[in-house]
């Protein structure tokens, strides 16, 4: 997982959340081991998005999952539908 | 990469740029503020502004949490870091922020135990591993980050971790936006709203922008296509004479926010009556302290902090940059005395800071073709 480096921006102190896949869930501690697209792993607080299942994608910020990460494309606005279809 | 690549498609970007051009009123100059530092970073990393006509100006807002921390607050943190028996933990960017005499990194070089963490949970883990020491977490960030601190404090309370405390410097986004709109030296046409703050608080809190100030808003995601589409949404509202909160980032942002996060924040935090923002001065009810229920974990109550107000360096124009009054390159010390390696102002420290974003991605172009 990228940290405070200029290329990626600071994932923790900036308003940045990154998609992470749930690998394993610790039900007792209400934490999940998650992996980002580069394979970096992190223990993630899941209290805000429970229940979650393995293989689900979460949006993680500062070690906390803020929401599920849906796979949909940008929401179309009137006009450029063709561009975003 | 899933969820990312589809939002960076160059062809779609060019198509959106064409739509943006078509939505403009000839001869009109548009100023749209992207509130969030993460947006500023994405705009310059992906060259989003290069796809915009010159008469669409993106103004960088106060949404970088590192950039808005005043120097006196940094000094308070450094003072705590120098306390014997303290491990001082903070996010990476904070260590390089200059205080009046030194940064946390300098303090570490002098022997203070300053450690970078990626989440408050890491700080709590350090506390459990070092029961004989005091672990202080310097909590910064907007409503995106505050739930993480709140959940960690809940764990500290539940698990009776007594050697952990938080120096709470969390801030809220709505009061500085009001302060900016009340500022006489700034004229804005609309806003690109902060997507991940809104994931927590929802789109609803931004309704005051159209209702009270007549300004259109598009809550935006962070990929290049998200940002282009959000600019288009704001421009379309202006063309139609509408002022609404539109949610471009609806795939993540619910109108009501994350109710659980709001409940937990309400339990753990209380509003401070006033808080000083770098460049913006004191703003009422714009920051969070720990609630009475969590006072036991409040580092400012556990330790003695100087709490001295320190004026920003005279050469630094972070205040004007944060208000969008000047562009980073218009600052007298930009790229010369102030660089990411040796920052004078906070806007050059964090990659989310407007100055650092300009500097790192070589955005020195000052003229673009007018549509």
For A37-56, write each residue's pLDDT tens digit: 888 899 999 999 999 999 99
Question: Is the pLDDT score of B349 beyond 90?
Answer: no
Q: Which of B114, B157, B158, B155 is nearest to B136 (CA)?
A: B114
pLDDT of B359 reads 85
User: Alpha carbon of B193 to those of A50, B7, B153, B201: distances in Å?
Assistant: 26, 18, 28, 12
pLDDT of A2 reads 37
pLDDT of B179 reads 87
Mean pLDDT throughout A28-33?
92
Closest chain B residue to the Cα of A43, Cα to Cα: B121
pLDDT of A11 reads 55
In angstroms, what separates the C-alpha of A23 from chain B's closest C-alpha? 16
pLDDT of A10 reads 58
In b/e form, how buried is each residue of A31-54, taking b as 16+ CB within 10 angstroms? Answer: bbbbbbeeeeebbbbbbbbeebee
CB contact under 8 A, B4 and A19: yes
Question: Is the pLDDT score of A73 beyond 50?
Answer: no
Domain borders along chain A are: 1-71
Where helices occur in chain B by DSSP H, the ranges are: 10-23, 37-45, 71-81, 104-109, 120-129, 146-158, 174-182, 195-201, 208-213, 224-240, 259-268, 299-302, 318-322, 354-360
8 Å CB contact between A69 and A77: no
Mean pLDDT throughout B91-113?
91
pLDDT of B2 reads 52
In this structure, what DSSP letter does residue B181 have? Answer: H
Across chain B, mean pLDDT equals: 90
Q: Give the tokens for residue B133.
A: 């020491």
Mean pLDDT throughout B75-100?
93
Cα torsion through B270, B115, B124, B198, rounded to 10: 40
Question: Is the pLDDT score of A79 beyond 70?
Answer: no
Of the listed ranges B37-41, B155-159, B301-305, B323-327, the least confidently predicted one is B323-327
Q: For domain A1-71, which architecture applies?
A: Roll (2.30)
Res. B363 pLDDT band, cuts 50 70 90: low
For B240-282, write each residue's pLDDT tens digit: 999 999 999 998 999 999 999 999 999 999 999 999 988 788 9
- Residues of chain A in contact with residue B116, where contact means CB-CB under 8 angstroms, are 3-4
Q: Give the tokens for residue B65.
A: 């949490």
| ipTM score for this prediction | 0.83
8 Å CB contact between B221 and A74: yes
CB contact under 8 A, A14 and B3: no
8 Å CB contact between B67 and B95: no
Question: Is the pLDDT score of A5 beyond 80?
Answer: no
**Which of A12, A66, A83 is closest, CB to CB, to B91?**
A12
Mean pLDDT throughout B316-337?
84
The C-alpha atoms of residue B220 and residue B216 are separated, in whole angstroms, by: 13
In angstroms, what separates the C-alpha of A25 from chain B's closest C-alpha? 16
Look up the CATH number of domain B71-171+287-302: 3.40.50.11740
The C-alpha atoms of residue B167 and residue B69 are separated, in whole angstroms, by: 13
- Residues of chain B in contact with residue A30, where contact means CB-CB under 8 angstroms, are none
Q: Helix (H, G, I), strand (E, B), or coil: what is residue B60?
A: strand
Q: For the whole model, what pTM was predicted?
A: 0.87
In angstroms, what separates the C-alpha of B146 from chain A's closest C-alpha? 9
β pairing state of B269-271 and B190-194: unpaired
pLDDT of B6 reads 67
The C-alpha atoms of residue B13 and residue A11 are separated, in whole angstroms, by: 25
8 Å CB contact between B194 and B33: no
β pairing state of B274-277 and B281-284: antiparallel
pLDDT of B112 reads 97
Q: Which of B193, B345, B172, B234 is nearest to B358 (CA)?
A: B345
CB contact under 8 A, B221 and A14: no
**Which of A1, A6, A45 is closest, CB to CB, to B360?**
A6
In angstroms, what separates the C-alpha of B63 from chain A's closest C-alpha? 8
């Amino acid at each position: 997982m990228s940290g405070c480096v200029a290329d990626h921006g600071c994932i923790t102190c900036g308003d940045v959340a990154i998609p992470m896949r749930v690998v394993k869930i610790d039900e007792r501690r209400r934490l999940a081991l998650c992996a980002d697209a580069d394979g970096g792993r992190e223990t993630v607080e899941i209290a805000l998005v429970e229940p979650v299942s393995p293989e689900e994608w979460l949006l993680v910020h500062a070690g906390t999952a803020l929401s599920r990460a849906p796979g949909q494309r940008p929401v179309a606005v009137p006009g450029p539908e063709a561009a975003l279809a | 990469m899933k969820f990312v690549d589809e939002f960076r498609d160059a062809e779609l970007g060019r198509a959106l740029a064409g739509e943006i051009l078509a939505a403009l009123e000839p001869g009109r100059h548009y100023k749209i503020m992207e509130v969030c530092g993460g947006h500023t970073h994405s705009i310059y990393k992906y060259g989003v502004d290069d796809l915009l006509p010159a008469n669409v100006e993106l103004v960088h807002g106060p949404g970088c949490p590192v950039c808005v921390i005043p120097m006196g607050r940094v000094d308070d943190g450094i003072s705590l870091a120098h306390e014997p028996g303290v491990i001082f933990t903070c996010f990476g960017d904070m260590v390089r922020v200059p205080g009046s005499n030194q940064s946390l990194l300098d303090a570490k070089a002098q022997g203070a135990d300053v450690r970078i963490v990626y989440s408050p949970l890491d700080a709590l883990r350090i506390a459990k591993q070092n029961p004989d020491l005091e672990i202080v977490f310097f909590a910064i960030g907007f409503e995106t980050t505050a739930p993480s601190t709140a959940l960690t404090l809940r764990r500290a309370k539940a698990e009776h971790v007594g050697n952990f405390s938080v120096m709470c410097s969390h801030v809220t986004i709505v009061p500085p936006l009001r302060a900016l709109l009340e500022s006489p030296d700034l004229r804005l046409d609309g806003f690109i709203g902060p997507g991940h703050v809104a994931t927590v608080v929802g789109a609803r809190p931004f309704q005051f922008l159209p209702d009270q100030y007549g300004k259109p808003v598009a809550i935006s995601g962070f990929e290049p296509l998200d940002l282009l589409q959000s600019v288009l949404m704001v421009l379309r509202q202006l063309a139609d004479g509408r002022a609404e909160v539109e949610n471009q980032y609806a795939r993540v942002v619910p109108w009501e926010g994350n109710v659980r996060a709001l409940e937990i924040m309400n339990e753990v935090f209380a509003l401070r009556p006033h808080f000083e923002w770098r460049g913006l001065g004191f703003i009422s009810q714009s920051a969070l302290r720990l609630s009475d229920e969590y006072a036991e974990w409040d580092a400012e109550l556990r330790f003695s902090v100087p709490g001295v107000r320190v004026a920003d360096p005279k050469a630094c124009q972070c205040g004007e940059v944060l208000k969008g009054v000047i562009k980073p390159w218009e600052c007298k010390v930009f790229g010369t005395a102030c660089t990411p390696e040796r920052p004078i102002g906070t806007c050059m420290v964090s990659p989310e800071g407007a100055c650092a974003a300009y500097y790192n991605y070589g955005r020195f172009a000052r003229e673009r073709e007018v549509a």
